[in-house]
Structure 1
């Protein structure tokens, strides 16, 4: 495990369909798994309305009828990350780190906590006190989740983990869209956003939130970021 800052390629995708971002993740992940590349990469993105169902999820946790999903142009995808059902949409900042984890002790639990720490620091920067909740991955404000986490880890032949998927931070997200699902399968917990916590009405500024997350990610993971063309 190194103590020196390592280089991470940061790719800003902006607003992009879920399938296209997933394809980029998968292509980079396969390179790392096959040993045909070693580049640490992070994708920053915002999605149109999309429901994703993780490996531990169920379509039973989508509670809106198909007609309502069609009305709001909602895409539904089953994906290979951990966790249950979650929502992505406009006003949500999404981060997909495709990393091989030896520089961080090859420790998945530590990696998840580091992602949570990034979100906690970003939220503190705008005046929101958020924290972890024992037994429930993600970042919370009270009983309401403000940042979801869903990660997949696969092993290289060497045993080193390679990550995909990541975190989704609700900034100006339309929280009514979460009513189409039981978020993460937790009927007794709610969701919130930066806009709701602070009473903001400004539109989502992707670049500003990306800059905040870059600073937090640099500090928490001890890396040097290299901007790359999308």
Structure 2
């Protein structure tokens, strides 16, 4: 029997709200009260620094950041600093990895494969780079991936959180104020930059869902709820 998964399209969500919602979902899963769940959304401009990162890879100070309207969060995912903003499809798959061999590295490869297949549908040849996560077009990263494996001791496995950020048509200049993922030798790109034309976010979302269903061999069920409604349902107040 294929795993089942609820998916919610939450549209524009402040980073702090989405971070809290992920933690609420993980706690529910650890108590056996929630099944596989995916959150799709966009964030207002924000830099997030993962466990492998440090403030030195944010190249502007607080005043300039605030002038640009870019927030800053230290978070508990793997990886270094990255940028999220409008025009970027962000996905947080919160999954029981027991359905995928409890293998975190394999889970990362599956997330990458979803993006590679999605991009292939646009005629974009993307791939991986040795020793790095994400999806790349040549020497430019088009999708960043950073996850956390939350230990589920009751089931001797892991529950995933955090996820991917696919550059559809974000303000790429905001990447210029950080060292993305701590990588200095390669750049970043977007679907719009590669294709030379605008791309509808709704089309990208649908293509991601199709590729995710195929790669993960999972059945998706579309949920209808806002961030506040999910927060109430999952017993947390944002």
> Which TM-score bucket, shorter chain as reference?
over 0.9
Gap runs ≥5 in structure 2? 226-238
Query: Which of 52, 59, 63 is matched with 1:56 structurally?
Result: 52
- CA–CA separation in structure 2 for the residues paired with 1:82 and 1:65: 23
Contact 1:15 1:48 in 2 (8 A): yes
Q: Give the SS at the match of 1:213.
A: helix
* Shift in Å, 1:159: 1.7
Is contact 1:64–1:179 with CA below 8 Å preserved after alignment?
no
Report whether the alignment pairs 1:43 with 2:31: no
What is the aligned partner in structure 2 of residue 13 from structure 1?
Answer: 10
1:182 and 1:33 map into 2 onto residues whose CA distance is 35
Q: How does 1:15-30 map to 2 (within 5 A)?
A: 15-30=12-27
For the Cα contact (< 8 Å) 2:25–2:34, is it kept in 1? no
- Does the 8 A contact of 1:139 with 1:146 survive in 2? yes
Q: 1:106 aligns with which of 97, 102, 108?
A: 102
Query: Do the aligned partners of 1:34 and 1:156 also contact (CA within 8 Å) in 2?
Result: no
Partner of 2:85: 89
Aligned position for 1:221 = 216
Q: Is contact 1:14–1:206 with CA below 8 Å preserved after alignment? A: no
Mapped partners of 2:60, 2:196: distance in 1: 27
Residue correspondence of structure 1 range 95-134 to structure 2 within 5 A: 95-134=91-130
Tell me which of 204, 207, 215 is aligned to 1:209. 204
The TM-score with structure 2 as length reference comes to 0.91
Q: 5 Å matches for 1:106-185?
A: 106-157=102-153, 158-185=155-182
CA shift at 1:130, angstroms?
Answer: 0.3
Shift of 1:142: 1.0
| 1:77 maps onto 2:100 in alignment | no
TM-score normalised by length of structure 1: 0.95
Residue ranges of structure 1 left out of the alignment (5+ in a row):
none
Matched residue count = 224
CA distance in 1: counterparts of 2:83 and 2:34, whole angstroms: 31
State the alpha-carbon separation in 1 of the partners of residues 67 and 126 from structure 2: 33
